[in-house]
Structure 1
Amino acid sequence: MFKVKSLLLLCLAAVLLLIPVITESAVTDGTISLQKTGQAKCYDSDGNETNCAGTGQDAALLAGESWPDPRFTDNGDETVTDNLTGLMWAKDGNVMQARDPDFDADGSAGDGSVYWQHALDYVAKLNTENYLGHNDWHLPNVNELQSLINADEYNSAGWLNENGFTNVMPNDYWTSSTSISYKVYAWAVYMGYGYSSTSDKNTTAYYVWPVRSGQMGTISIQQTGNTKCYDSAGTEISCTGTGQDGDVRAGAEFPSPRFTDNGDGTVSDNLTGLMWTKSANSGATTSTWQEALDTVAGMNSASGTDGYTDWRLPNMNELKSLLDFSEDYPSLPQGHPFTGVRQDYYWTSSTLTAVPGSAFVVSMDISHVYYYSKKIEDYYGIWPVRGGEVEAPPEQFPDLTVKTLGSSGKPKKDKKITLSAVVKNIGEKSASTSSVQFYLSTNNNASSVEGDKLLGTTKATGNIKVNGSKTVKLTLKVKGKAGNYYLKAFCDSGAIVTESNESNNIKVSKKISIK
C-alpha cells in the first residue's frame, strides 16, 4: 500500500510540475489574433497585376484572421457593428455635419472637420446627450480607426460606404492618440489610402467618427501603449475625463513580458504569437521592395534561417503590431530584446492598391504607416516574421477563348477572303504570347479540329492581359470543293499557355457555302 501511495504522489507531483510548463508554452500562441489586411491581389514593382504564387506578397500568403461574412452589421438604429473587431461605430461617418453643423467653427465651418480638442469635446457632447441611446462613445485610437482599412480597395472610404456606412469621407480623421514625438501633434488616419500620420492639434481640421468598444468580435485590437495624456499645447495633463487614448485605453493590454527571447536568434511576441528575427537588420544596407521580398525568400532556402524555412516579409498589420505609441526612437515597448533596430522605415509585403507601384512601409522611429515607390532603393529595413494564420490562395491562370469569328465577304472559289478572330483572356492572370489556327470543317464540333483542314499559317496573339483581347487575321485564297462548311478558330492551338479552362478554345462559325 505504501508503494502504491508513493507512486500516486509521485505521479501527482509530476502533473503539478507540468502545469506551469503547459501554461508558459500557451503564451507563445498569443493573446490576440491579427486581422488580414484584406489584400487579395498581387502587383509587381511597375504596378502591374501579377500571379500571386511564389511572390511572398501579402495576397500570396493572406496572413491573419479571416474576415467574417458579413463583415459589418447594420443594427437598424444608426449604428453599425464590425463583426471582426466587435467595435460599434456611428453609421454616419460625418455625424457632426449632419447633426450639429453649428458645433463646427474650425477650418471650413459646418463641414464636420474640426481641431483635435474640439473633436474630443464633440464626442463628450454626444455622451452627455446619450447619442443613439449610449453614453460611452469615444474618439477612436489609431489602432481602432485603422482596423477599418481594406488594403484591397482603392478607396477604403468608398468601400465602407458600400458596406453599411454613410458619409465616410476619403479624408483624414482624428484619433484620440497623441504623438509621443511631437506632443502638440495627434495621430490621424487617411480613410482613402489607409495610411496614418500626425498633424498639429491646433491648426489642422479633420473629421470625427465616434466608436464604442466592449462588444464581442472575432479578434481583439491591441492597445496603443499610451498611458499619458497631453493638451493641445503638448503639456502633460491628468487623463481622467479627457477621452484621450491614455484615458480610455481601449483594446487588449500588452502581456508581461511582451516578448520572449528564444535564445536561437528569434523572438516571440507574447501578444500576437508571431515570431520575429531577433536582428531587425536583415539584408543589405539599402533595398528596393522586390529585393526585400527576395531577401526573405532566400532565408527559406536549404536548411533555412534560425532553424525555420517559413519566414516572410510581414504585411502591414503584422509590422505595425510591434509599435508602442508611447515610445519613439525606436517605437517599441521598453525592454524589448531586439537588436539592430533601424530608426527608419521598414518594408511590408502590402501594396497600396490605389498606387500599385508603391508599397506600405512602417517607421520604427515615430510609428508612421505610410507608402513609397517599390523601386526606391533606400535605407528601408527588412524584418522577417513567421507564425500566425497563413493561407495560400489557389494559383491563378489565364483563360483564352475566341469571342468572335468572322470573314470579309462571301467565300468564292479562287477569291481572297480575310478571316478574323477576337481572342479574349477571361482568366485571372495575363497570358504570354500564344497562337490561333483557322480551320475549314464539315462539322460544327467545338471540341475538336480532328479531320478538319488547316487554313494558312499559325498566327501569333502576343501577350494578352486579364480581360484584354487581341484581333488575329488571316488572308487567303479560297480553295476546296463547292459545298457547305464551317470555319473554326482554335486559340492556343499549340497548348503553349497553361489555362484554367482548356475546353473553350475553339469557336465555330455559322454554316458557310463555297460556290
Structure 2
Amino acid sequence: MPQSTSRSSLSLSHSHHFAAMARSGILMFLMVLLVSCSGGGNGVTGTSKNNAGLPVTASISGTVVDRNGTPVPGVTVTAYHNNDHTSVTATTDAHGAYAIAGLPTGAWTDFTVYARKAGFAFYPSTGADGRVGRQDFDGDYRTVVRFLTLPTHDVTASFTAFRPGDREASLPRTGQTTSYAAGDDFSVAAGIAWPATRFSDNLDGTVTDHLTGLVWLKNAGCFTPSDWSSALTAANNLASGACGLADGSAKGDWRMPNVNELESLVDVSQVNPAVSVASPFININLAAAYWSSTTYAPVSSYALAIRFSDGRWINGSNNGFDNTKATAANALWAVKSGAAGTVSLLATGAFSGQGGGSGVSFGAGDDPSLQIGIPLTDPRFVDKGDGTVADTVTGLTWLKQADCINDTWSGTLSAVNSLTSGQCGLTDGSTAGQWRVPNRNEMLSLADRAPTFQIASYLNGIAGPDMVTVTGPVFFKSFRISSYYWTSTTSAADTTRAWTVYSCDFGAYDQPKSGTGYALAVR
C-alpha cells in the first residue's frame, strides 16, 4: 500500500466546476507533487522581508455562504501550514466572514485551507493565487484551497456550504425493465429516466449519449486489446481519420473513460453486450474487458475494468479476465466530452497526487489528471443524528448502521421495505415503505476512489493500517469489510443472481440471490 507522510501528504489536484457554482470563480488546475520542507519550528525561515528588513505577512480571508448566498456563521476555517505541520484557525462571523492575519510569506509558506462545521459539507473557491483540489491527511481526503507559496499580498479562500437535502447531481436509472420482487429496481424506478432516444449516430464515427452528454467512439472494437499504458496512449493519440472518424477531432480530444463514464454505458437489462439494444455501436468486444482510466488506489498496478458481456467489473484475475495494468490485454472504448446531458456524472474522487514517479497521475490523460465529473463536497456525508446520513452530492439519505441488515436478496428486500424508525438505530420517524434497497447506480455512487485502503474502512472513518495518527470523519457505522452489499438490481445474464457491490473496491459483481449479504437502505 502506498505510504502516507507522518501528518499530511502534500499532493493536490485540480477539480472541475460544479455547474451551479460557476459564478463563484472556482478554478480548474493541476498541481505537481511537492515534498514538505520544514522551515523551522514557527515556519518563518525564508519569509519575505520589506525594505526595513521586517517580515512581510499576509492574510487569508473569505466568506462561507450556503447555496442561496445566505451567510453561515460559526464555521471553523483552518489554515494548515504544510511545511511545519502547524495550523491557525478562525471562525466565521454573523456575515459568514473570516480572516486569518499575520501569516508568513515567501519561501516555505505552503498553506492548505479547509472549512468545518457540524451538519455541513463544503466546497471551496479561491482567487488566482490559490488552487482548489484534494489533499490526503493520513487517510482523510479533504477538499481544500492550496497556496503553494503564500504571496506578499492578502489572498482569498471562500466556501459554499451544503446542508442535508442539498444535491449537486441526480443519478440515472439503471435500465432494468422487469420486476423480480416487490421493492426491487424496476418496481421502484429510482433515478432520472433515460431520454426517449438515448444514443444518436452522428454519422462521423461518433455516437452521442444524450443521457450523459458524452460522445463515444462508434467502433468499440477499433483497438486491439493491449496493456493499460498502451491503451491510454492510444486514446490520447486518437484523431479524425482513424477508427472511422470523420469528426474533425484532433489528438488530445479523446480519452480513456474513467470508471464512472464506462459504467454509464451499462444497460442492466441487456447481455452480450450489456449495452442498450437501440445503440448504434459496432464491434463491442465480449471476449475482453474494457479498461477505465481509474487506477485501483490500494493496488496501483491495477486499473478498474468492466466486461460488457454482462456488465461485471473486473478487479483481479477471474475466469480469464484480468486488470493488471502491465500484463492484461483489455479493450479500449474512447470517449470525449460533449454537450450537457440529462444527468451529470460524478467524479470518481481520484486526485492528482496518487501517481507514481511524477506524483501527478499514473499516466497522461488518466482519471486523476483529468478528474472529469461533478466533484465531491467535503465532508461529503453529513450525519443527521437520527440514524441517517445525508449525501450532499446526490441528495440521497442513507441508513447509517451498515451491518444491521444481513439476509438473502429477497429477505433483504422484505426487511428494507418494512424498515421503520426504532429499528437499525433509526430515530428519524420513518415508516414502512419509505426505505428501499439501493439500485446498482445508487450503491456505486457511494464510492470515493481516493483512499489507498478499503473504501469500507474509509466510510467507517478508519484509516489504513499504516495510517495511525489521524482518522477521518465517521460516515457510516460498522460498514463490513470484504463483504458483498446487495443492490435491488437483478442480473440479466442470470436472473437467479443480483448485482452486489463489494465493500473493499466498490465494484459491481453478480451473486446468487439465495446467498447472504449485507444491505444499506436508502431514500
For Structure 1 versus Structure 2, the TM-score category normalised by the shorter chain is 0.5 to 0.7
State the partner residue of 1:375: 514
Residues 133-178 of structure 1, C-alpha deviation per residue, up to 9 Å, x if partnerless? 2231110011100101111113344645x42111122241001011
* Structure 2: distance between partners of 1:262 and 1:184: 38
* Structure 2: distance between partners of 1:364 and 1:341: 8
Secondary structure of the residue that 1:267 maps to in structure 2?
A: strand
1:294 correspondence with 2:414:
yes
Deviation, structure 1 residue 128: 9.6
Deviation, structure 1 residue 351: 0.4
* Structure 2: distance between partners of 1:221 and 1:350: 20
- Conservation of the 8 A alpha-carbon contact between 1:157 and 1:169: no
1:224 correspondence with 2:348:
yes
1:340 correspondence with 2:340:
no
Structure 2 portions without partners, runs of 5+: 1-67, 73-119, 121-159, 316-322, 460-471
Residues 364-408 of structure 1, C-alpha deviation per residue, up to 9 Å, x if partnerless? 21222101100013xx2111000xxxxxxxxxxxxxxxxxxxxxx
State the partner residue of 2:206: 79
* Structure 2: distance between partners of 1:281 and 1:134: 49
- Conservation of the 8 A alpha-carbon contact between 2:211 and 2:342: yes
State the partner residue of 1:38: 175
Give 1:252's match in structure 2, choosing from 371, 374, 381: 374
1:215-364 to 2 correspondences below 5 Å: 215-228=339-352, 237-239=359-361, 242-284=364-406, 287-300=407-420, 306-309=428-431, 310-327=434-451, 328-331=453-456, 332=458, 335-343=473-481, 344-364=483-503
What is the one-letter code of the residue matched to 1:374? K
1:41-120 to 2 correspondences below 5 Å: 41-43=178-180, 52=181, 55-96=182-223, 112-120=224-232
Structure 1 portions without partners, runs of 5+: 1-16, 44-51, 97-111, 387-515
Residues 1-55 of structure 1, C-alpha deviation per residue, up to 9 Å, x if partnerless? xxxxxxxxxxxxxxxx993589967762310000100102123xxxxxxxx5xx1
Larger radius of gyration: 1
Secondary structure of the residue that 1:73 maps to in structure 2?
A: strand
Residues 138/257 of structure 1: CA separation in 2 closer, same or farther (3 Å cut):
same
What is the one-letter code of the residue matched to 2:409? W
Please give the root-mean-square deviation of Cα atoms over the aligned residues, in Å.
2.7
Residues 214-264 of structure 1, C-alpha deviation per residue, up to 9 Å, x if partnerless? 520010100111114777xx7664339711110111111012331111111
State the partner residue of 1:143: 260
State the partner residue of 1:414: none
Secondary structure of the residue that 1:42 maps to in structure 2?
A: coil
Residues 124/293 of structure 1: CA separation in 2 closer, same or farther (3 Å cut):
same
State the partner residue of 1:177: 294
State the partner residue of 1:190: 307
Residues 31/185 of structure 1: CA separation in 2 closer, same or farther (3 Å cut):
same
State the partner residue of 2:14: none
Residues 301/229 of structure 1: CA separation in 2 closer, same or farther (3 Å cut):
closer
Residues 336/72 of structure 1: CA separation in 2 closer, same or farther (3 Å cut):
farther
* Structure 2: distance between partners of 1:129 and 1:238: 31
* Structure 1: distance between partners of 2:188 and 2:421: 17
* Structure 1: distance between partners of 2:259 and 2:69: 40
* Structure 1: distance between partners of 2:248 and 2:404: 52
Q: Greater CA deviation, 201-210 or 297-306?
A: 297-306
What is the one-letter code of the residue matched to 1:114? S
State the partner residue of 2:283: 167
Q: Greater CA deviation, 130-139 or 171-180?
A: 130-139
Higher relative contact order (CA 8 A, sep 6+): 2
- Conservation of the 8 A alpha-carbon contact between 1:293 and 1:313: yes
What is the aligned length?
A: 338
- Conservation of the 8 A alpha-carbon contact between 1:229 and 1:244: no
* Structure 2: distance between partners of 1:371 and 1:241: 31
- Conservation of the 8 A alpha-carbon contact between 1:158 and 1:168: no
* Structure 1: distance between partners of 2:70 and 2:185: 38
- Conservation of the 8 A alpha-carbon contact between 1:79 and 1:89: yes
- Conservation of the 8 A alpha-carbon contact between 2:487 and 2:499: yes
State the partner residue of 1:485: none
What is the one-letter code of the residue matched to 2:455? P
* Structure 2: distance between partners of 1:306 and 1:236: 48
* Structure 1: distance between partners of 2:201 and 2:222: 16
* Structure 2: distance between partners of 1:235 and 1:183: 12
State the partner residue of 2:24: none
Deviation, structure 1 residue 330: 2.6
- Conservation of the 8 A alpha-carbon contact between 1:360 and 1:371: yes
Residues 125/155 of structure 1: CA separation in 2 closer, same or farther (3 Å cut):
same
* Structure 1: distance between partners of 2:413 and 2:363: 46
Secondary structure of the residue that 1:76 maps to in structure 2?
A: coil
Deviation, structure 1 residue 305: 6.2
- Conservation of the 8 A alpha-carbon contact between 1:178 and 1:229: no
- Conservation of the 8 A alpha-carbon contact between 1:178 and 1:230: no
